[in-house]
Amino acid sequence: MAMALCLFKYAPTSLCSSLFSSTKIPNSHPFSFSTFSSSSSSSSYSTVLATPTFTWNDILNISQSSTSIQQQHQHPSSYLQGFFHKVQLCNRGSEKQSEFLPFVIEGQVVGFIHNGFAEYLKGFGDVFIFPKDKSNGSPFGNCVSLHPRLKTYEERTSAVGYVVERLGEERIPGIRNELYPVTSSFGAPIFFSLERAAAPYFGIKVYGIHMNGYVELDRQKHLWIAKRSSTKPTYPGMLDHLVAGGLPHGIDCHENVVKECEEEAGIPRSISIKAIPVGAVSYMDIDEYRYKRDVLFCYDLKLPESFVPKNEDGEVDSFKLIPVVQVAEVIRKTQFFKPNCSLVIIDFLFRHGYINPECFGYLDLLRSLRIGDCS
């Protein structure tokens, strides 16, 4: 039976090349991660982290110490383990879904609210109601909904915004005064807009854009990688994409890419409009009262060799241009990247031929990039 050996190759570049024998992933469930467990605790990846202390030299030293061919011969089935673990970090807590109530508006499920957080909302009876049966033809049973007097977008946005303001930083830390649309799926009607920091507490779908900015040097692709500012309220000091951001209300994906390109990397519109949409990844993460249901639209932008990014909004500490094969090793071996960035870069590795079908676990890893409700 053939089994995959995964190697780095530089022209053409590939993470997986030699074929040995095939075997079956020893998990009955396609998205089970028990076989790819790690001693690292995923609980360390809550939204707010202590600032990491690694440097670019640390990153380059790790990325250049590739797995030896002998070790890959001895453990061919574990080569993708590091990638699977990064997917796991973005998809925790599925066993806790029963602790959440559907958040229903006009017969559509727009989110999920933890029973504990729902107790806070019960103090705002003129905004939230809590149906306990399938009355009025509703198929949802116990759920959370908005008071029927709140009929318009403006009324709902204002009323829920008032609740978020009253709950304050104690219940919803990191309030940014940035609104996200509340909808059942991408492109569906928007029922109201919600403070960005409150999104996981209401379990709404959140959409974002992530852009891989790459350069080709000597027939090798290199990715521009950002190191987040140490003053960022979320994931300070961690590695990030050249450009990434949430999709707020009132702007489409491509215009958001162009806007974020200018703000985060100083990329002029004449270049950023060439960014190519290449798909999406999704994940579902439950952490205490927070239920993240995120969909990230992925973009690729080939940049001129002479381009050097410059941050304009103070959210990035520095940038580094790193060969893709070395970026892959950083993802495989460390937790230096903001977790959801790893998913987008793994997707890049698939699309650009750095992971071949002969790699053990190829299809399972590919499917795992869209575990969340990608709608």
Residue in 348, 351, 347, 320 with CA at minimum distance from that of residue 336:
320
pLDDT value at position 51?
62
pLDDT value at position 43?
35
Domain extents in the chain:
76-94+206-369, 95-202
pLDDT value at position 65?
64
pLDDT value at position 26?
33
Give, for all 375 residues of the chain, the pLDDT tens digit. 333 334 333 323 344 433 223 333 333 333 333 333 333 333 333 344 456 788 888 888 887 765 433 333 445 567 799 999 999 999 999 999 999 999 999 999 999 999 999 999 999 999 999 998 655 455 667 999 999 999 999 999 999 999 999 999 999 999 989 999 999 999 999 999 999 999 999 999 999 999 999 999 999 999 999 999 998 888 999 999 999 999 998 999 999 999 999 999 999 999 999 999 999 999 999 999 999 999 999 999 999 999 999 998 888 999 999 999 999 989 999 999 999 999 999 999 999 998 888 778 999 999 999 999 999
Does 95-202 match 76-94+206-369 at the fold level? no
CATH superfamily of 76-94+206-369: Nucleoside Triphosphate Pyrophosphohydrolase (3.90.79.10)
pLDDT value at position 359?
79
Q: In this structure, what are the phi and psi dihedrals at residue 132, rounded to the nearest 5 degrees?
A: -115, 5
pLDDT value at position 141?
74
pLDDT value at position 83?
94
pLDDT value at position 32?
37
What span, in angstroms and rounded, lies between the C-alpha atoms of 187 and 119?
31
Identify the residue whose tokens are 């521009």.
224
Q: Which two tokens stand for residue 219?
A: 């027939």
Residue in 340, 211, 207 with CA at minimum distance from that of residue 285:
340
Identify the residue whose tokens are 């009262």.
289
Return the CATH number of 95-202, one of 3.30.565.10, 3.30.750.160, 3.40.50.2000, 3.40.50.720.
3.30.750.160
Helix (H) / strand (E) containing 169? helix 153-171
What span, in angstroms and rounded, lies between the C-alpha atoms of 118 and 201?
9
pLDDT value at position 255?
97
